[in-house]
Structure 1
């Protein structure tokens, strides 16, 4: 299992498994808050400090909320507003050990325009 946290440590995340692929998105939000993002079944990532130490930002089609620490401001994950069976949530891999980030293949996604992967 891999453990990560926001900068101040108020929000801690434990991944259920080692991710193989992450996504670097260039949409108007992701290009500002970073990433890369890894995805897991909703509820499978252990998150402590949420919701008592977090705030949410909801935008666009209003189906997801981006979660950030209220103390240090680091974006830790996103989650669906209305979770359904089998839905996913995204975890900001930037909150984990750099060795884990280096070990994961990162795919580039054009969320700003074509909504497709733009890997070479």
Structure 2
């Protein structure tokens, strides 16, 4: 039985598939994430697949320019972030693009990205 989970932007141009539902998601209050309104689910790059493999996204980087934030060129939904240094074996998928029932069982963790850069729980 497959546990793959699909996620897509509003228009469907950017789609992702991950190996499993996220057991927890992160809500961050940094200046960027609070504006995006995302919940991040973390995966290794080999646990997430872009469909199509090279989707029509625009990339935004800021600050230390160590993370690429991707959004759909058509509808503007933020789909994921990827580390510029590909040796960093982690990426964030916007879990709000997953079906709502997938998130129903996920624990929400709060990260103080605006000040301490630590989880508050």
Q: Please indicate the TM-score interval, normalised by the length of the shorter structure.
A: over 0.9
Q: TM-score, normalised by structure 2?
A: 0.92
Q: How does 1:35-114 map to 2 (within 5 A)?
A: 35-49=38-52, 51-84=54-87, 87-114=89-116
CA distance in 1, matches of 2:84, 2:44: 14
Counterpart of 2:32? 29
CA distance in 2, matches of 1:111, 1:37: 13
CA contact (8 A) 1:11 1:50 kept: no
CA distance in 2, matches of 1:62, 1:50: 23
Q: TM-score, normalised by structure 1?
A: 0.92
**Structure 2 spans left out of the alignment, 5+ residues:** none
CA contact (8 A) 1:24 1:35 kept: yes
Query: Which runs of structure 1 show a deviation greater than 3 angstroms over 4 or more consecutive aligned residues?
Result: 49-52
**How many aligned residue pairs are there?**
118
CA RMSD of aligned residues (A): 1.3
**Structure 1 spans left out of the alignment, 5+ residues:** none
